[in-house]
Chains A and B, each alone.
Chain A
Amino acid sequence: MINRVTDLIINNIGEQAIVRIEEENLQPILVIHIDNLVETAFLLRDTEGYYFDFLSNISAVDYHPEQRFGVVYHLASIPYQTQLTLKVEIENDRRFDNLPEVPSVATVWRTADWHEREAFDLMGIFFTGHPDLRRILLPDDWQGYPLRKDYEDAETYHGIAIK
Chain B
Amino acid sequence: MTRYTEGLENYKKKIAAITSQEMVINMGPQHPSTHGVLRLELITDGEVVKDIIPHLGYLHRCFDKHAESMNYGKAIPFTDRLDYLSSMNNSHAFVMGVERMLKIENKLPKRVEYIRVLVCELNRIASHLIAIGTYGIDIGAFTPFMWCFRDREHIMNMLEWASGSRMLYNYIWVGGLFYDLPVGFEKRCQEFVDYFKPKLVELDDLLSNNQIFISRTANIGALPADVAINYGCSGPMLRASGIKWDLRRVDGYSVYPELEFEIPVGKGEMGMLGDCWDRYKVRVEEVKESVKIIEQCLQRLQTDFKRTPDFDPRGLVPKKVNLKAQEYYVRAENPKGELGFHFVTQEKTDVPKRVKARGPSFNNLSVLPELGKGQLIADLIAILGSIDIVLGEVDR
Contact = CB atoms under 8 A, between A and B. Distances in A.
Nearest to A111: B232
A137 interface: yes
A60 B309 CA distance: 47
B7 A114 contact: no
A26 B100 contact: yes
A99 interface: yes
Given A81-B250, A114-B362, A147-B65, A74 B230 contact: no
Given A78-B229, A111-B230, A134 B60 contact: no
Contact of A24 (B57, B60, B326, B329): B326
A146 B62 contact: yes
A140 interface: yes
Contacts, number: 101
Interface residues of A, number: 43
A42 interface: no
Contacts of A62: 354
Contacts of B231: 110-111
Contacts of A85: 327, 329
Contacts of B65: 146-147
B288 interface: no
B250 A74 contact: no
Interface string B233-265: 000000000010100001000000000000000
A55 B232 contact: yes
Interface in B329-380: 329, 331, 338, 340, 342, 344, 353-354, 356, 358, 362-363, 366
A56 B338 contact: yes
A78 B232 CA distance: 11
A30 B344 CA distance: 15
A59 interface: yes
A50 interface: no
A137 B11 contact: no
Interface in A54-113: 54-57, 59-62, 72, 74, 78, 81, 83, 85, 96-97, 99, 109-111, 113
Given A55-B232, A57-B358, A111 B366 contact: yes
A61 B344 contact: yes
Given A59-B356, A146-B65, A26 B338 contact: no
Which residue, of A22, A133, A137, A147, has the highest number of chain B Cβ atoms within 10 A? A137
B304 interface: no
Interface in A111-138: 111, 113-114, 122, 126, 130, 132-138
Interface in B169-218: none
Contacts of B101: 26
Given A78-B245, A139-B57, A29 B342 contact: no
Given A26-B328, A59-B356, 10 more contacts: A27-B327, A53-B230, A56-B338, A74-B329, A97-B1, A114-B362, A114-B363, A132-B7, A133-B7, A136-B57
